[in-house]
Structure 1
Amino acid sequence: MATGWAGDGAVQDQIDATVKDGIERARRNLPQGPSLTHCEECDKPIPLARQKAVPGVRLCVACQEEADREQEGAGLYNRRGSKDSQLR
Structure 2
Amino acid sequence: MDDIDRAQGINEQLQADALEAHSRRRTVGESLTECEDCEEEIPAARRKAVPGCTRCIDCQRKFEWIQGRR
Q: Which has the higher Rg, Structure 1 or Structure 2?
A: 1
Range into which the TM-score falls when normalised by the shorter chain: 0.5 to 0.7
Q: 1:59 aligns with which of 51, 55, 59?
A: 55
Structure 1: unaligned runs, 5 residues or longer:
1-13, 75-88
Q: 2:45 aligns with which of 35, 46, 49?
A: 49
Alignment match, 2:23: 27
Structure 2: unaligned runs, 5 residues or longer:
1-9
Alignment match, 2:33: 37
- Answer yes or no: is the 8 Å Cα contact 1:31–1:58 preserved in 2: no
Structure number with higher helix proportion? 2
* CA RMSD of superposed structures (Å): 2.5
Percent of counterpart pairs with the same letter?
38
Q: How many residues align?
A: 66
Relative to the length of structure 2, the TM-score reads 0.65
List structure 1 segments (4+ residues) > 4 angstroms apart after TM superposition: 17-21
